[in-house]
A and B are shown apart, each in its own frame.
Chain A
Amino acid sequence: MALLELRNITRRFGELRAVDDVNIAIEAGEFFTLLGPSGCGKTTLLRMIAGFDRPDAGSILLDGRDIGEMPPEKRPVHTVFQSYALFPHMTVAQNVAFPLRMAGKPAVEIATRVAEALEQVHLEELAQRYPDEVSGGQKQRVALARALVNRPRMLLLDEPLGALDAKLRERMQIELIALQREVGITFVFVTHSQPEALALSHRIAVMNDGRIEQIDTPSRLYGFPRNRFVADFIGNCNLLGATVVETTAHELTLDLRSLGRVVAPAAGNARVGQQGAFALRPEQVRITPAAAAHELRNHFVGKVHDLLYVGDVTTYVVELPGGLRLEALLANSAPGRARVFEIGETVRVAWRHDAGSFLPE
């Protein structure tokens, strides 16, 4: 049985369906992420799990028990807020002690557990400081310690890294993964940042317009997006208009308008004549000099139209016959070389027959 089960959850704000018939089952010990652009309903969903908002329809089950009518203070679920919401009139230690005091724990137990929690997030020395005397990253850790100290069944994190700068965010991501492994508590993480979601999660639910587009592991989400939205939202993706012309057990033959036929991995429900998009990641496209030997089944000759150098890799935009543009990624592994090809150069782009995926309309 799943730890948390959301069944047919719908929440309307006037005409708007902020959350529309959502079904999710989260297992105990999982690091589960709700990912989507702002306004997709992920925060509304989180607030309903915490108890600050009620669904208009559907039920929320924790350990198989319906908690829909339970007020937030009774739910064994704690939240880390984006702005941390630390109590400014309490020291770091008093902030962390707060949930234990509310639970009526004896003073001795409070003292030891606060010390433990502060040690877990490496804040022992700052116990007597006030929130406005510690840095942003430290505030973040206080908020984590405060939410974890009473060992909730589930920890909800509402874009907790959003207020940190890029370097610090990366460090906190690593700490978060380690912390979750250490405490073994189920994390439900909300973010609009797809690299963050991919880096942290065991499973991700991609949301758009109040609906779940796909729930999967990061690698499957990235490798096998179910539709155009997911393909486009997670990482960079070439999306080419395609029609199915032939299907076999393992392969599809697609007609890429103006470009011709390519071979793609089979998609379960594809039928001959079906319209859709062919999704191909830039790093799956190999780019070689036009004259070089090639052994891949999908290959075309084109011209470098543009390139974007970002240090470790360069993205080449290759214009193919018929005006179609394809992005290809090449690692700058040769030292000191920023680019292998120049704008205007004729190159060959190719990809494996089992790369990319067909997304029916």
Chain B
Amino acid sequence: MARTNTERARQSLVAAPPLVFLVVFFLAPAIIMALASLRYPGEFGALAPLVATKPGEEAGLTAENYRLFFSDSIYLEIFVKSFGIAALTTLLCLAGAYPLALLMARSAKRRRDLMVLLCVLPFASNFLVRVYAWMIMLGPFELLFTPIAVICALVYVHLPFMVLPLYTNLERHDPLLLDAAQDLGANAWQCFWRVTFRLSLPGVFAGSALVFIPVLGVFAIPEILGGIGDWLVGNMIKEAFLGVRDWPFGSMLSIMLTLCVLAIAWVTARLARLGGGRA
């Protein structure tokens, strides 16, 4: 008993610093954000005080921001569009990354490392530089400031986040399982679909989350490559904070976005469990 106690004490000692870090820099800001979304905007940005200092001043807590969100369908439309764009980007990334990850996982050991290096190489140059590079590339095709340009850049930027988790998963598969499947009568497609793909589902989910969630928050790519109609949630949030300086409204949008992502994550987890569980 005593030993398990010291063991536990040692474990919590190791776990404490990251835990404290998460509470201070993640949970606390989230709570501040949630509270900010329930307040009035300050006169020149920031937040109005909780207690009125001048007569007639808006102070204290209010649900006005949330009422505003549901009163105009434009916000909901942009939300739906953003989730649509994120889903499309995720699908395109998956379609592009899967064959690549499979090729990498089934290459000789030495070539694999080179391919992983090539995959992360784009990170060596600045994100904005790479997005501007797309302007130069898409310009001649008259695709600039269109949804296609936005999708192209979104897929390009997020592709490595899909390739790497897929590759780490596929690389661990026992090649003998495919021999066994083939031996028991499975053709090439059945080998892939019933064995390789099923076993790679954790990688598919991890990669999809790593693409889907960041795409929901982007604002630079639609701003640089998209037209005015290509605004996403990220642009609205950025505009609320930096443009019109309405912090409570921006906070409300952020909170709504977080809630939507959590809801989707929950539904996905439920679906994964219903769909036969272990993969």
Contacts and interface: CB of A to CB of B under 8 A. Distances in A.
Contacts of A83: 174, 176
B243 to A, nearest CB: 49
A83 B177 CA distance: 10
B185 A81 contact: no
Contacts of A89: 198-199, 278-279
B190 interface: yes
B184 interface: yes
B187 interface: yes
A86 B194 CA distance: 13
Contacts of A147: 184
Nearest to A83: B176
Contacts of B278: 88-89, 130
Contact of B179 (A52, A71, A88, A103): A52
B183 A78 contact: yes
A102 interface: yes
Contacts of B179: 52, 72, 79, 81, 85
Interface in A81-100: 81, 83, 85-89, 98-99
B190 to A, nearest CB: 6
Interface in B256-279: 278-279
A69 to B, nearest CB: 15
Given A73-B187, A81-B176, A87 B195 contact: yes
Interface residues of B, number: 19
Given A88-B199, A89-B278, A150 B180 contact: no
B183 A50 contact: yes
A72 B195 contact: no
B277 to A, nearest CB: 9
Contacts of B195: 87
A54 interface: no
Nearest to B178: A85
B206 interface: no
Nearest to A99: B184
B198 A150 contact: no
Interface residues on A, range: 20 to 34
B198 A73 contact: no
Nearest to A50: B183
B29 to A, nearest CB: 39
Interface string B156-195: 0000000000000000001011011111111100100011
Contact of A102 (B174, B176, B184, B199): B184
A75 to B, nearest CB: 8
Contacts of A81: 176, 179-180
Contact of B181 (A51, A77, A98): A98
Contacts of A86: 180
A146 interface: yes
B183 A72 contact: yes
B185 A150 contact: yes
A89 B275 CA distance: 12
B176 A73 contact: no
A72 B182 contact: yes
Contact of B190 (A50, A87, A102, A146): A102
Interface of B: 174, 176-177, 179-187, 190, 194-195, 198-199, 278-279
Per CB-CB distance, the 4 closest pairs between chain A and chain B, nearest first, are: A102-B185, A85-B180, A99-B184, A85-B176
